[in-house]
Amino acid sequence: MLDVLKVRIYPNKEQEISLAKSFGCSRFVWNFYLNKTNIQYEETGKGMTYCQMAKDLTQLKKLADYEWLQEPTAAVLQQSLKNLESAFKNFFAKRTGFPKFKSKHSKQSIRFPESCSIKNGGLKLPKLGIVKVSLSKNVSGKIKSVTVSKTSTDKYFAAILFEVGDLKNTKQGKISGIDLGLTSLITVFDGETCHKVDPIKPTRKYAKRLRVRQKSLSRKVKGSNNRRKAVKVVARVHEKISNTRANFLHKLSRKLVDDNQVIVAENLCVKGLARTKLAKSIHDAGFGMLLNFISYKLDRVEGNFIQVDRFFPSTKLCSCCGHKNDLLNLSIREWICLNCQTIHDRDENASRNLRAEGIRILSTNTVGHTEIQACGETVRLVGTCAKKRVSKKQESPANRKAV
- Average pLDDT of the segment spanning 344-369: 80
Selection from 2-6, 28-32, 188-192, 333-337 with the highest mean pLDDT: 28-32
Exposed/middle/buried for residue 90 (C-beta within 10 Å: 0-12, 13-18, 19+): middle
Checking if the pLDDT of 370 tops 90, the result is no
Catalytic residue among 190, 309, 347, 348: 347
Asked about 56 being catalytic, the answer comes back as no
**Strand 186-189 with 174-180, pairing:** antiparallel
Q: In which band, very low, low, confident or very high, does the pLDDT at 378 lie, cut at 50, 70 and 90?
A: very low
Catalytic residue among 179, 190, 348, 357: 179
Checking if the pLDDT of 52 tops 60, the result is yes
What local confidence, expressed as pLDDT, does residue 21 receive? Answer: 94
Asked about 266 being catalytic, the answer comes back as yes
Q: In which band, very low, low, confident or very high, does the pLDDT at 132 lie, cut at 50, 70 and 90?
A: very high
What local confidence, expressed as pLDDT, does residue 98 receive? Answer: 94
Cβ-contact 23, 71 below 8 angstroms: no
- Average pLDDT of the segment spanning 171-197: 87
What local confidence, expressed as pLDDT, does residue 371 receive? Answer: 41
Q: Which of 6-20, 226-240, 273-287, 382-396 has the lowest mean pLDDT?
A: 382-396
Express as a percent the part of the chain with pLDDT over 70: 89
Checking if the pLDDT of 379 tops 60, the result is no
Catalytic residue among 85, 190, 266, 357: 266
Q: Please tell me the number of Cα atoms within 13 Å of 354 on its side-chain side.
A: 33
Checking if the pLDDT of 286 tops 60, the result is yes
Q: What is the pLDDT of residues 207-246, one digit of tens each?
A: 999 999 999 999 999 989 999 999 999 999 999 999 999 9
Q: In which band, very low, low, confident or very high, does the pLDDT at 373 lie, cut at 50, 70 and 90?
A: very low
Question: CA-to-CA distance for 159 and 168, rounded, in angstroms?
Answer: 24
Asked about 284 being catalytic, the answer comes back as no
Question: CA-to-CA distance for 145 and 51, rounded, in angstroms?
Answer: 21
What local confidence, expressed as pLDDT, does residue 82 receive? Answer: 94
Question: CA-to-CA distance for 277 and 261, rounded, in angstroms?
Answer: 36
Q: Which of 5-14, 115-124, 242-251 has the lowest mean pLDDT?
A: 115-124
Question: Which is more confident, 148 or 343?
Answer: 148
pTM score, whole prediction = 0.80
Checking if the pLDDT of 170 tops 90, the result is no
Exposed/middle/buried for residue 265 (C-beta within 10 Å: 0-12, 13-18, 19+): buried
What local confidence, expressed as pLDDT, does residue 130 receive? Answer: 92
- Average pLDDT of the segment spanning 318-341: 81
What local confidence, expressed as pLDDT, does residue 191 receive? Answer: 84
Alpha helices in 137-286 (DSSP H): 202-205, 207-218, 225-259, 270-273, 279-285
What local confidence, expressed as pLDDT, does residue 395 receive? Answer: 39
Domain ranges within the chain, ordered by starting residue: 2-163, 174-198+262-403
Torsion of CA 170, 171, 176, 178, to 10 degrees: -70
